[in-house]
Structure 1
Amino acid sequence: MRSLFLLSLLNLIIRVLAAGSKGTDDIIVKGCASYMTLGFSWNFCKKINKKQRVACFCPQSEWLDSVVACIDGLDDDPTNLNFHLKALKAYCKKGNVTTDQISSAQNHVGNLAMLNTSINSYKPRKVTTAFKLPVSQYRWGLNAYSVTQNTTDKATTYGIGMMCFWYGIVLIRSVFHWTRNFFPTLPHKLDNKATRLIRKSICCPPLLTFHHSTPATLGKSSVGTFFTFNLPTRQSAFIVLCYVAINLALLFAGLDIVEYNYNYDSWSAQYSKFLSVRSGWLVVYTLPVMFLFAGRNNFMIHMTGWPLDEFNVFHKWLGRCCFLNLVVHAGTYSYVRIHGGRYNSMWSTPYWQWGIAAIFFAGPMVFLATHWFRKLSYEIFLVIHILCAIGFVVAGYYHLDVLKEDIRVYYAVWAIWAFDRAARLGRVLVASPFSRATVTYHSNGNTLELTINYSKLWKVPPGSYVFVHIVQPTFFWESHPFSMMQGVEEDHKGSIKLFCRGLDGMTKRMIKKCLQNNGSFETYVWLDGPYHQYINTSAFSEAFFIAGGIGITAPFSYVQGHISKGFKDITVHWGIRDTAPLEWFADEISYMLDHGVQLYVHVGDETPIPSSNASFVSQGKEKATMSVLGRVELKQGRMDIMNIVTAAANNASGPLAILTCGPGPVNDLSRQAVVSNLTTSPHYIEYFEESFSW
C-alpha cells in the first residue's frame, strides 16, 4: 500500500509539472472526490447522471467535509494541503463552492467520527453524515481510482509497445540489409557450418517442407477445396508467432484488478471493463502498422529489402489479431453493459452505433480475405476490402471522437493511406497517362504480349514489376502486377515488354479484344511503377536462373542487367510446357545466346519444334524462331530441379546466386533444392525468389 501511495504522489508531481500554474489535475483531490461519490451511498444525489455529479455533490457539506478529511489523511503537509484545497475548489467549480465552504470543511476534519467498517463488498457503504476513515482505506481508495483512471494510459502504452515491436523488427532487418549492401561479400566471408545450419533450418525453408508459393489445402468437398493457404518461411513464421504471443500477453497480462473496486459492482465487471479498454487500444495502435504494411509504396520495403509479399504476410496477421482484439473489446464491453442492466439502452448511443459499424466492416475484411476467395475473384475481393477498410476507419474514428478519446492515430492512418494513393498516382503521371501498349495474342501458347511505349523518365531496374491498368471502358479500374523487361528488338528498344498467360478476368477480356482485331490491338495504359526488390546477384561469382513459363521475364531482366555490366558466368534453365514460347520469346533467346548465356530449355511435352503455322505470328517472328532452334539446347521432359541445382552447387567456381521465377511448384521445388544443398555445397549459395502471391 505504501508503495502505491508513493507512486500516486509521484504521479501527482508529474501532473502538477505538466499542468503548470493551473493545478487542477490533482490526483489526490480527484481520487478522494471519486471515492466519496461512488464508494458510499448518501441520502442525496440519488438519481443523477455522470455529468451532474460534481454540481450535485460538491455543495453538500457532509460530502465536502468527508472529501477534505480524505485529502488530509493522504497528505497532511500544510504546504501541499493548501495546494490540494485550491485544486478542490477548481474541481467543484460547477457546484459553486466557495473558499469559505472549503475552509469550514477543513475546520471540521478533527471533529469527524471514524468510520471503522471494513471493505468487504462491491456495494457502496451507506452513510448519512460526514466521516473520516483509517489512512489505509484512503490509500486503497486512491489506488482504486488511480488503477481505474490509468487503465487507458496503460493500454495506450501497451499499444505503442506493440507498434514498437514491428518497428524494432524492421530496424533489425534494415541493419542486416544495409550492412550487406555496403559490404556485399560479407555473407560469403561469414559462410561456415553454423551460419549454413541457421540458414537451412530457419531463414530459407518454408514453415514445412513445401507450399510457400504453392497453396496448401486442408479438407476437400464436392464443390472443391475451400481452405487453402500459403505457408510463410520459418523466419516469417517466427516473427508472426512472436507477434501473436506478445499480443496475447499484452491483452490479458498485467490487468490491475483491485479487490472490491468501488467503481464496479463485481470482480467480473471490473475485469471485463479493463480488458475491453486494453483490447480497444490495441486495435487502435495496430492500425498504422497494418495500413503501412499493406501499401505498395511502403518505404520499409526499401529499408529492409523484404519484398511486398513478405509485408503482405505480416499485414494479414496484423489484421487477424486486430479482429481478435476487436471481438474481445466488443464482447467484454457488452458484458459490462449487460451486467449493469444498460445493454438495451446502449444501442441508441452514437459511440455504440459507431462501434457496431466498425465490427460490421471488419468481419468481411477478415473472412473474405481467405486465399480461396481471393483466388476465386480477386477484383471483387479487392473492392470489398477497400470499401470495408474505409468504413472501418471512419467508424473507428467517430467511435473515439464521440467518447472524446485521442483520435490522432487515425490521422496517421489517413496520412499513410493518402500517401500511398498519391504515390501511385504520381508514378502513373511520371510514366505518362498516355502510354501506349500494343497487345498481341499468341494463340499457340495462350500468351499475351504487351509492348509499351512510356515516358522513359525512369529506367527498368532488373527484377522490377509494374501494376498495369488497361484503359478500356469495362476494366480500366483493374490493375495487375507484371514483371517487366526492356525490349531487345531494334524497333522496340527503349520500350518495356510484359508477358502474361490468358486466364480469367482482365486477360480473358484482352484476348477477346485481340481476336476481334486480327490478333492484336493498341490501347492506352496506366503504369503504376516501377517497383522492385533490390537483389545484388552481381556480387556472386555465378548467376544461376530457373524460370517456368512466362516467369522467364524476371530472370531475363536480370540477365540484361548482368550483360550490361559485363558479367559473364550466367546460366538459365527455362521450363516450358511446349515449344510455343520459343516463338514469342525468340528475339530474347537470340539476345541471350549472342551474349554467351548458357541457356537450357526444358520442354515438357514431346513436340520437338514449334508449329510453323501458328496463329497471328508474323513471318519475321517465325524466322526468328527457326533461327534459334539450331542454337538453343532443348531437353525433353520436365525440369529435374533437384538435380539441376545440385549439379550447379557442386560445380560452382565460387559464391552462387540462384534466382527463381515461375509457377508455385517451380518456386517451391527450387527453394527445396537450394535448402538441401546449403550445407553440402563447396561454396556459398543464396536463394532469391521473384513471385507474386494473392
Structure 2
Amino acid sequence: MSPYLHPRGVEQPAELNRRAKFLDGWNAADHDSLAYSWGLTGVDQDGNYLWVDVFLFTLLGLGIVLLTLRFCNMFWRHTRHLAAMGNEKQAYWETNQTTWWPWLNRHLLQAPLHKKKHNASFQISSAIDNGTLPGRWHFIMLVIYVAMNLAYCLALPWSNPEHASIIAALRGRSGTLAALNLIPTVLFALRNNPLIPLLQVSYDDFNLFHRWGARICISEAIVHTVCWIHNTQAGNGWQAVADGLRDEESYTWGMVGTAAFVFLGIQAWSPFRHAFYEIFLNIHRFCVMLSFVGLYLHLERHALPQVPWMHLIFLFYGGELLMRGVYILYYNFRLKSRSSIKVEALPGEAVRLTIDLAGSWHPRPGCHVHMYMPALALWSSHPFSVAWAYPPAPSSKELTFSALEGGVPATAQQPTKQISLICRARTGLTRKMYEKACRAPNTHFSTWGFIEGPYGGHHSLDSYGTCVLFAGGVGITHQVMYLKHLIEGAANGTTATQRILLAWTVPDSECLEWVRPWMDQILRLPGRKRVLRIKLFISRPKGRVENHASSSVQMFAGRMSPDTLLEQEMASRVGAMAVTVCASGAMADSVRAATRRHLEAGSVDFIEEAFTY
C-alpha cells in the first residue's frame, strides 16, 4: 500500500504538505479553484472504484461466456473427430444439430458489418490504405466497449454546485479509466497473449481490440490532461500551468506520457502504419516505452492507487519480451551453431526462404513465424506462414524397416530442423531480399538470420469429412501443410478426412513454381488420389492455358468463383465441411460471402487466416 494513501485513496499529511507547497504564493482567492487541480482533491474516488469494479466484472462475465462457448465448440469437434475418423459414412455430421448456432454464426459471428466488405481495405492509393471494416460481432463489442467508457466518464456528481469540482471528478474518472484500459490494450498487443490458444481467437482479432483500446486510452488521457489544465489555468492563469509542469515531477511526467500517447495515436493511423510499416514499428516501440515511463512516474510521484496496475502492465510487457527471447534462443542458437537462411529468387517476384534451425521443433499446420534478417532489416521482423517443414533424414534402421514393410518411415510428427517460407516482393525487407537474390550468383544467397515462433496453427481440420482450402497467390503457404497432414491422416485413419479441394488462384502459371517441389511430394502420398482434388486458376494468363494433368488436378484461365465451387462441394460433401481461406482481402471476403449462404444448410465452418497488421 502506498505510504500516502489509505486503501480508498485518502491523502496523507506528507501529500497534503506537498499540495500546500504547490499552492503557496498564489492569492488566497485562487486556492479553491487551483486546489482542484492537485492530487485527489475533488476526485470522486468512491465512484471511480465502483465503475472500475463494474467494468471489470462486465469484462469477466463476457470472458466467461466466450470461454464457455469455445469449450463447448471444442468438445463438439473432438467428439466428432473420434466418431468420424476413418469412417467413410458421416451422414449424421453433415447436418446441423441445432438451429440457433448456425443462425448466430451466419448473421452475427461470421457476418461483415455491411454487405460483404470486411478484410478488403479502403485504398487511398496503390501503396496506402485506410484500414478495414470490423465484422458485425466485432463492431457490436466495440460499440459496447466505447459506450461503457463514455457512460462511466459521464457518471459524475453533477449536483455539486462547484464547477471546478465536477471538472476534477472528470479528471479523476478519465485518468482512472485510461490507466485501466491500458491493461487489456497491452495484453491484446502481445504475440504470446495466453488468450489466443485458450479461446482459439486469432491474433488479428485481438490486434483489432488493441487498436481500439489504445484509441480509448489516448482519448481519456487527453480528457484527463485538459481537465487538469482547465482547473489550473482557472486558478491563476497559464503561469500556474507552466509552473506546475516545471516544478512538479508528477505533472511533468504526466504531460510526457500524454504527449507520447497522442503521438502514438497519430503515428498508428492506418495510412502511416501501412506505408512505412518497418519505421512505424521501431518508433512505436520507443514511444510505448516512453508513455509507460511517463505514466508510471506520474502515478508514483503522487502515490496514486493505480500504481499496481502499472506493475501488472510491466509484468505483461516484460513477460512478452522474455517469451520471445526464449523462443529465439531455443530454436536458433546453440553453443557451436546458429540458424542460417538461404534466400532464392523465384518467378513472379517471390523468394523462397529455407531456414536451417539450430534447435528442433514439431511442425503444425497453419502456423507462422516472425523472421529476422539483421543484414537487411536490422531488428525488424516479418510474419510468414510456414510453407513446409522438412522431416529429418531416416536412419539406416528406419530405412531397413521401411523396405521390409513396403512403406516409408512415418516422419510427419517428428521434430524438424529445416523449414521453408515463401514471400512476395512488396516493399521494405521483402523487396530487398528479392533484388539481392536476383543479383547473386545462381539467383540465391545465404545469410545469418533467425525466427521467432511458431505462432498460430490452433485450428484443427481433423474432424471434418470435407475440407475446402482456398488460396490466393502466396496464401498457398498457409494451406500446403494442411494438405500433407490431412492426406496422411486420411490414409492412416486418424482424421475424418474424405474429400479435400484445393482452389488456388495465381496471376500466371510461373507462380506455380513457388510450391512445385512440395506439391510433387504431396501428389505422391499414399491415398492422395482418393481424397484430393486441385483446381488452379490463372487470373492473368500470358498465353493459352492447357490442362495436361489428371482429372484430380485441373487448370483454368480466369478468376475462380467461390459460389460455384462451394455449390458443387455442398452437393457431394461427406460429413461436416470446413472452408478455409488465406488470400487477399477482396478474395477472402468473396469466400466468406459464399460460405455464409451455406451455414444454415449444413454443418459448415468458415476459418480465415489474415495478417491485417
What TM-score range do you get, normalising by the shorter chain? Answer: 0.7 to 0.9
The answer on whether the counterparts of 2:580 and 2:608 sit within 8 Å (CA) in structure 1 is yes
The answer on whether the counterparts of 2:371 and 2:381 sit within 8 Å (CA) in structure 1 is yes
Distance across 2 between alignment mates of 1:405 and 1:453: 51
Gaps of 5+ in 2: 23-29, 33-39, 81-92, 395-410, 491-496
Deviation at 1:650, TM superposition (A): 3.1
Residue of structure 2 in register with 1:198 after alignment: 104
Give 3-state SS (helix, strand or coil) of 1:215's partner.
coil
1:393-432 alpha-carbon deviations (Å, 9 max, x no partner): 1111111112121311111111111111111111111212
| Identical columns (%) | 23
Residue of structure 1 in register with 2:178 after alignment: 283
Deviation at 1:508, TM superposition (A): 1.2
Within 5 Å, give how 1:257-656 maps onto structure 2.
257=158, 259-260=160-161, 267-341=162-236, 343-345=238-240, 346-348=244-246, 349-406=248-305, 407-433=307-333, 434-442=338-346, 444-472=347-375, 474-487=376-389, 494=416, 495-518=418-441, 519-566=443-490, 567-594=497-524, 595-596=528-529, 597-607=532-542, 632-656=553-577
Cα distance, 1:400–1:601 mapped onto 2, change above 3 Å: same
The answer on whether the counterparts of 2:466 and 2:500 sit within 8 Å (CA) in structure 1 is yes
Residue of structure 1 in register with 2:44 after alignment: 151
Residue of structure 1 in register with 2:117 after alignment: 211
Within 5 Å, give how 1:47-58 maps onto structure 2.
50-51=19-20
Q: Which amino acid aligns with 1:515?
A: C
The answer on whether the counterparts of 2:384 and 2:422 sit within 8 Å (CA) in structure 1 is yes
Cα distance, 1:448–1:167 mapped onto 2, change above 3 Å: farther
The answer on whether the counterparts of 1:645 and 1:670 sit within 8 Å (CA) in structure 2 is no
The answer on whether the counterparts of 2:174 and 2:224 sit within 8 Å (CA) in structure 1 is yes
Q: Which amino acid aligns with 2:554?
A: E
Number of residue pairs the alignment of both structures matches: 539
The answer on whether the counterparts of 2:340 and 2:447 sit within 8 Å (CA) in structure 1 is yes
Q: Which amino acid aligns with 2:103?
A: L
Cα distance, 1:610–1:636 mapped onto 2, change above 3 Å: closer
Distance across 1 between alignment mates of 2:153 and 2:584: 40
Give 3-state SS (helix, strand or coil) of 1:466's partner.
strand
TM-score (structure 1 length as normaliser): 0.72
Distance across 2 between alignment mates of 1:165 and 1:320: 20
Distance across 2 between alignment mates of 1:164 and 1:463: 34
The answer on whether the counterparts of 1:586 and 1:628 sit within 8 Å (CA) in structure 2 is no
Cα distance, 1:308–1:320 mapped onto 2, change above 3 Å: same
Distance across 1 between alignment mates of 2:31 and 2:340: 76
Cα distance, 1:490–1:414 mapped onto 2, change above 3 Å: closer
Distance across 2 between alignment mates of 1:225 and 1:26: 53
Deviation at 1:380, TM superposition (A): 1.0
Distance across 2 between alignment mates of 1:690 and 1:543: 15
Q: Which amino acid aligns with 1:483?
A: S
Asked which structure has the greater CA Rg, the reply is 1
Distance across 2 between alignment mates of 1:419 and 1:177: 26
* Bigger mean CA deviation after superposition, 202-211 or 475-484: 202-211
Deviation at 1:609, TM superposition (A): 7.6
* CA RMSD, Structure 1 to Structure 2 (Å): 3.3
Q: Which amino acid aligns with 2:440?
A: N
Give the counterpart of 1:686 among 590, 605, 613: 605
TM-score (structure 2 length as normaliser): 0.81
Q: Which amino acid aligns with 2:564?
A: N
The answer on whether the counterparts of 2:260 and 2:291 sit within 8 Å (CA) in structure 1 is yes
Distance across 1 between alignment mates of 2:174 and 2:142: 19
Cα distance, 1:52–1:291 mapped onto 2, change above 3 Å: closer
Give 3-state SS (helix, strand or coil) of 1:634's partner.
strand
Q: Which amino acid aligns with 2:245?
A: W
Q: Which amino acid aligns with 1:587?
A: P
Higher relative contact order by CA 8 Å / sep ≥ 6: 1 or 2? 2
Cα distance, 1:677–1:522 mapped onto 2, change above 3 Å: same
Distance across 1 between alignment mates of 2:7 and 2:70: 49
Give 3-state SS (helix, strand or coil) of 1:531's partner.
strand
